[in-house]
Amino acid sequence: MINLAPRENNVHEFWDKIKVPSSHGKDINYVVSYGLVDWDDNVETSRPAIFVMMEYGGNLHRQLVAHITTDKNSNGTTDFEEVMKAINTLKERHNL
């Protein structure tokens, strides 16, 4: 059973997170998370979800859309591939 942590805001409750470095620039990460989402601030309507947010300089931005780029990086991978790996890791960790 997952130990529920206090909500960091009224929409997301984080159970697990993986940071994925972004090719967007220095100190920019995708934060791939698993937890509860709830738009009504009502535990009865909360739903488990995987969600991706952006982190700039260590600050998580909850209102920005994560634009996951698909072009090849200098190492031959894409941000999309790396984010999908993180999603699959969360899927395996939590038997989703």
pTM for the whole structure? 0.83
In a domain, 7, yes or no: no
Q: Residue 18 sits in which domain range?
A: 12-93
The confidence score (pLDDT) of residue 82 equals 98
pLDDT at residue 55 above 90?
yes
What's the token pair of residue 2?
């997952």
Q: Which residues of 48-79 are buried (b: 16+ CB within 10 A; e: fewer)?
A: eebbbbbbeeeebeeeeebebeeeeeeeeebb
Q: How high does pLDDT run on average in the chain?
A: 87
**Distance, first Cα to last Cα, the chain:** 13
Higher pLDDT pick, 25 / 63: 25
Provide mean pLDDT across the span 12-33.
Answer: 93
If one counts the domains in the chain, the total is 1
Tens digits of per-residue pLDDT, 29-51? 999 999 988 877 666 788 899 99
In a domain, 3, yes or no: no
In a domain, 1, yes or no: no
- In which band, very low, low, confident or very high, does the pLDDT at 62 lie, cut at 50, 70 and 90? confident
